[in-house]
Amino acid sequence: MNKMIKKYKIRAYIFLAIFLILVIGFGIYNVMATSKNNDKNKLSEKTENEIKYLDENLIKIFNQMNNIKYESYKISVNTANPSNMEEGTNQSNQKGSGSSGNTSESGTSSGKSDESTKSSESNNSGGKSGSNKGESSKNQSSNETSGSDSSSSETGQKKYELQEEGILTQSLDIDWQTVKNDVEKMYLSIPTITLDLYQTTINDKNILNFNTEFDNLTKIVQEENKVETLRQLCKIYEIYVKFLEENNSSEQEKVVAKTKLDIFKAYSSLDDNNWEEISNYMKSASEEFSKLMTSLDMKEQKQYSINKSYIMINELYKATNIKDPKIFLIKYKNTLEELKNI
């Protein structure tokens, strides 16, 4: 009987041990699986932000080729002419020249009488010599003050004000120094972005092509060639669109990116004055974006932005019939700004 009880106890311990091992093992598996999912989610979120970073900076360089900025105002600095300020001061001084002349004469006569008084009093005590030193120091400090005032008046005063600036009033000269700096800054982020993209479903070949084409862009920017810079930017943006297609991005993101690529191709052809080619690109952009018009899973706010963007894209398409680069650029700027809201 005791032997049977011992056998049952041993079996119970064995089952209990197996049960505990299974529970612990299942718990460890869940923790590891959760940790992996968290890491995947973090990596996915990080790569999405990095891809957006590429999009924003490439668009920025596109716009810099025609000095396009989303801000409507810039800070201007005006320096007041000191000669004009002095003219006003001299005119006011001339009005009181008669009274000042009388004052100087009385000051001179009183100065002569004071000289005899000072000469007689100078021999009385040494304390007065100390006061004379004090007066000389005061005169020196007053001279220094007048010297600084004259130097500040020569420098003039700076006046800061907000100046409105748009497509029709902006400078036509490209700020190549800013473009070069912005291109160089992207090199700080590209190695990290490359490593992260290798851990996604994006094709390794496309990642390498992006880095190669970006190096080619840097060469062209150094030469300050606007037409070639725009063409190279279009090549790079095509690879960016592939990133979205291979990274399981939403259909909406893919459609918007393809639409923008067609708009950029049209925009890049402006300097060639090939309006037929520009019109074809804009037609393609309109057809691509129309895919979002039939989508049923859009929120009301986004649907409004989509409808508005569609109208603006078609207006940009119609601008190709007018064949005016400035009108095209105005509508291009407004369309891109609206597409950011989707």
User: Using CA atoms, how far apart are residues 194 and 204, in angstroms rounded to an integer?
Assistant: 9
Residue 178 reports pLDDT greater than 60: yes
Can you tell me whether residue 158 is helix, strand or coil? strand
All structural domains of the chain, each given as residue ranges with its CATH number in brackets, are 50-70+172-339 (1.10.3450), 77-161 (no CATH)
Q: Bridge-partner residues for 159, per DSSP?
A: 78
Confidence of residue 207 (pLDDT cuts 50, 70, 90): very high
Question: What residue type is 295 in one-letter code?
Answer: S
Residue 283: HSE in the Cβ half-sphere, 13 Å Cα cutoff: 8
Rounded to an integer, the average pLDDT of 258-267 is 98
User: Using CA atoms, how far apart are residues 222 and 229, in angstroms rounded to an integer?
Assistant: 10
pLDDT of residue 19: 80
Q: Bridge-partner residues for 76, per DSSP?
A: 161
* Torsion sign (Cα): 146, 151, 155, 160: negative
Neighbours of 193 (CB within 10 A): 21
Can you tell me whether residue 70 is helix, strand or coil? coil
Residue 323 reports pLDDT greater than 90: yes
Rounded to an integer, the average pLDDT of 310-318 is 97
Closest-CA residue to 341 (of 296, 272, 294, 292): 292
Contact 269, 278 (CB under 8 A): yes
Closest-CA residue to 270 (of 335, 232, 309, 327): 327
Rounded to an integer, the average pLDDT of 277-284 is 98
Closest-CA residue to 336 (of 316, 322, 307): 316
Confidence of residue 319 (pLDDT cuts 50, 70, 90): very high
**What's the predicted TM-score (pTM) here?**
0.68
* pLDDT digits 0-9 by tens, 67-103: 998 876 555 566 655 555 455 445 545 444 444 444 3
**96 or 288: which carries more pLDDT confidence?**
288
Contact 51, 162 (CB under 8 A): no
